[in-house]
Amino acid sequence: MQQLTDPFGRSIEYVRLSVTDRCDLRCFYCMPKGFNDFEAPEHWLSFDEIERVIAAFARLGTRRVRITGGEPLVRKDLPSLAARLYALPGIDDLSLSTNAVQLARHARALKAAGVQRLNVSLDTPDPRRFRDITGGKLEKVIDGLMAAKAAGFSPIKINMVVMKGVNDDDVEAMVEFCITHGFTLRFIETMPMGDTGRGANAHYLPLDIVRKRIEQRHDLVPGVMPGGGPARYMRVVGSDLRIGFITPMSQHFCATCNRVRLSVDGTLYLCLGQDHTFELRPLLRDGITDAALDEAIRQAIALKPERHEFNDKPGQVVRFMSMTGG
């Protein structure tokens, strides 16, 4: 098996695939209200094109794919794409990040398609606050989560972006919610992305503060969880709850970065926090051969920068998280 290795010796074996830049919510830290500068449909990679790119990555050693967005469930027929990707030789870990608004309708089909693991964004258990943060209805997300549980997804990870003065006082309630329902809870530090990023940065809260608060009520011991990501896990003693801490700001994990991102228009983003990109769509639409596609991906990986610079240059990334796929 060939392997993809970047200039810093990191093995690249994980693709985050954004299937749309659109979303049915407007989380203020991700996409500003009224934003509608979306990619034109003729620029979206078709399912055939996505399958070709992921097959090429699989030939080059990628095992893990996470489908994300924008909100992936707004892309029509997503479960059929998931089934096609899961059928590719070499892909043995298929996961999905979703806001769960439309999950109740799709959970069973996604499970049948081969999606094994789900990450669901949920920043608060309070319906009014949920509306303030996202513009949407909490009950749909809860329905989606329960449908996912009933469909047999395990683990289900809840991603909570913890923001000072916005939802940091929901941390304890989220711990109880996840203990009750058997979900894994992951806290995420806000990253400065686009215009929203400058706002989000105002709410930045280092997660060691959150951890100390939880330790006032619960004993935490080191824990492990399956997944290719950068979360550091602790287990809450006396329960099955695992809590992950994702700290791109206070303790970045660039040295072990194993991933690249493919956006809906066929751009490879080599780093979430830098502007290094490689365009695959023109090559795909010019009839590139499989061998040349593999070579193009190798060239792209050679562009991967060493690290993000969110702390040194917080205004640098002007695109929104919804464009690249979080």
314 binds ligand SAM (CB under 6 A): no
Q: Which does 31 bind (CB under 5 to 8 A by kind): ligand SAM, ligand SF4, none?
A: ligand SF4
Binders of ligand SAM in range 51-80 (CB under 6 A): 68-69, 71
Q: Residue 86 is inside which H or E element, if any?
A: helix 78-86
CA dihedral 79, 85, 88, 91 (to 10 degrees): -110
Q: Residue 199 is inside which H or E element, if any?
A: helix 194-202
Q: x/- contact string, 41-80, with ligand SF4 (CB under 6 A)?
A: ----------------------------xxx---------
How many angstroms separate the CA atoms of 250 and 271, rounded?
A: 18
Among 4-12, 21-29, 112-120, 304-312, the segment contacting ligand SF4 (CB under 6 A): 21-29
190 binds ligand SAM (CB under 6 A): yes
3-state secondary structure of 32: coil
Tokens encoding 45: 């990679």
The residue from 121, 184, 190, 247 that contacts ligand SF4 (CB under 6 A) is 121
Cα angle 267, 251, 194; round to 5: 40
Contact at 8 Å (CB) between 91 and 54? yes
How many angstroms separate the CA atoms of 309 and 194, rounded?
A: 14
How many angstroms separate the CA atoms of 9 and 199, rounded?
A: 35
Min CB(218)–ligand SAM separation in Å:
23
124 binds ligand SF4 (CB under 6 A): no
The residue from 30, 54, 156, 231 that contacts ligand SAM (CB under 6 A) is 30
Q: Which does 190 bind (CB under 5 to 8 A by kind): ligand SF4, ligand SAM, none?
A: ligand SAM
Min CB(197)–ligand SF4 separation in Å:
12
* DSSP annotation of 258: -
Contacts to ligand SAM by CB under 6 A: 23, 29-30, 68-69, 71, 97-99, 121, 159, 161, 188, 190-191, 193, 197, 200, 321-322, 326
